[in-house]
Structure 1
Amino acid sequence: MTTIGCVLPPYGNPPSRFAPFARTAEAAGLDEVWLWEDCFLESGPATAAAMLAATERLRVGIGVMPAPLRHVALTAMETATLDGMFPGRFLPGLGHGVQSWMGQLGVRAASPLTLLREQVGALRALLDGERVTTSGRYVTLDDVALDWPPASAPPVLCAAKGPRTLRLVGEVADGVVFDGGAGLAAVRRALPLLDEGRAAAGRPPVRDSGPGSEDPFRVVTFLPVAAGPDAVERVRRAAATEGLDPQDGAVLADHFSWGSAEQVADGLRRFVDLGATSVVAEPTRDEPDLDGFATFVGERVAPLLL
């Protein structure tokens, strides 16, 4: 079954905004709220902790945290702590990080693929309760184990765009996060590359790896959404900001969904039909009412997708 969520972007939103938004999203019936950990805004795990504490059933995902910024043991400790407090409700994600920001911090990796491979492997092992000793190019652990590993380890998700990263994520991760800039065509092209990685690891194809399978693999897709009388104008502004042609209807339809609840649901359903396990509505940067957006998605759009 596909879960329905929305994004609360970090830009323009102070820390005090996140817990109230989570309560609004839960009251609207949404399954998930997603965040990301951009430099130099809110901490992903700290924000997720506040949102989880403010709600009772809502799942909170981070799509994603920059791997170069984080020591894998710290990420494992934070993830295990949140899962221990809120079992099954925290969804951690990792990615390469924005390379210019990683350069500012002095942690830019010469081989982002190697770093991600080492981090994901070590993180999954630690969350599974293993005692880990490894000496890689970027990850070194000497007899490290969590005192309080999760009773059931949460999935480790990864953002991916390029072919090599997609193959790697299919091979080593428990799921993929496609951000709001991906678009439908890019997600369609990505699935065979994920399958190549899974095949290399002896894992079943994405289509055969839904919830309940022996080796489940999550496909999380963000899609920018706009509703209201100025929806088309906001979509066009968002497209121009992303370097897309705001007058090209096919491009807009590939990357956005806008209009009535039925029209937005139709846009999200395209990703469900591709096999997405979570479809996540992302507000445009100039969304005038974020609480209203969450309520619209939860109360009016989500029932059309269930």
Structure 2
Amino acid sequence: MRKKILVLMILLIISILNLGWIKQEQDSTKKLDVLVTIDVECNRGDKPTLITGEGVSPKCGMYNIMDILEEYEFEGSFFVNVYEHKNYAEGVMANITKDIVSRGHEINLHAHPNSNLSFYNKGIENYNLEQQVYILNYGKNLIEKWTGVSPLAFRGGSYRINDDTFKALKIVGIPVDSTVYYENDHNKISNYKTINKVTKYNDIIEVPIIELRRKTSKGFKRSKFDVDWLTYDELIQVLEQAKNNDLKILNLMLHSFTFADMNGKSGGKLILQIGNKNIYGVDNVDIDDFKKMLEYIKTDDDIDIVTFKEWYEKYSDKDMINSRDFIPVIYR
């Protein structure tokens, strides 16, 4: 009898342990990783105003984005368009990259063509494989020279990419891409394997730009997970829908100039015109929305903000298999 009781107790303990393991596994599937990605670019004029806010306010530039992230103890992933370095005085672009790294944030490669570069003065998709390898190596080498860090991820400017770009990334040793944006006109790839779900193209891991649908009185409109495009409530809707539908990872978009008011909603007068962009002052609404979103994430145990490096180190193919290709729908 005692033997039977002992066996039953052992079985009960094993069952409890297994239930705990199952619960742990279920909890882990709820975890949502968010990449806060910032495209650092100006590419107009002889001062990096759209990067630093110079000539308007430092609150408009990337340094304020870093300040806010650090206030909440998060790190951002900054995609820097180093190809515009010849627009500015010697060392300006180098110092920008060094500042990002010295403050503990991640630096990755962004690529916009530049009229000062004879080898790269049109969209990258217009170049053959050999030329794309040269273009990517040029940018990668600049980042390594200036910071001592090798970029882990790439994003094509204006989402420009084609099938050869994946091959070129593999050759130059950049394992992650974050350019694919479903049915964007500048995506010249032969086919889309997913919409929002992580996938692979030519052995390059693809973390797509997040495609959304916004419900309006006239039906559904396309949108994306971008601080400049969404209100605070909409940002939270996307987070919760992704978390509850096993999307696993969200790619949040900002630009170095996200906090510049470019449509006059702050009520100010036109301060500066840079190329086709008008700046009226500081976009305090977007700043407040971004801060509130970070606070929301910080208090939710099921959401993490990670860098590409942190995510890549724990990444495995099963993450692609277990996640869903889900499109969040937002309501305003």
Higher strand share: 2
Higher relative contact order (CA 8 A, sep 6+): 2
Higher fraction of helix: 1
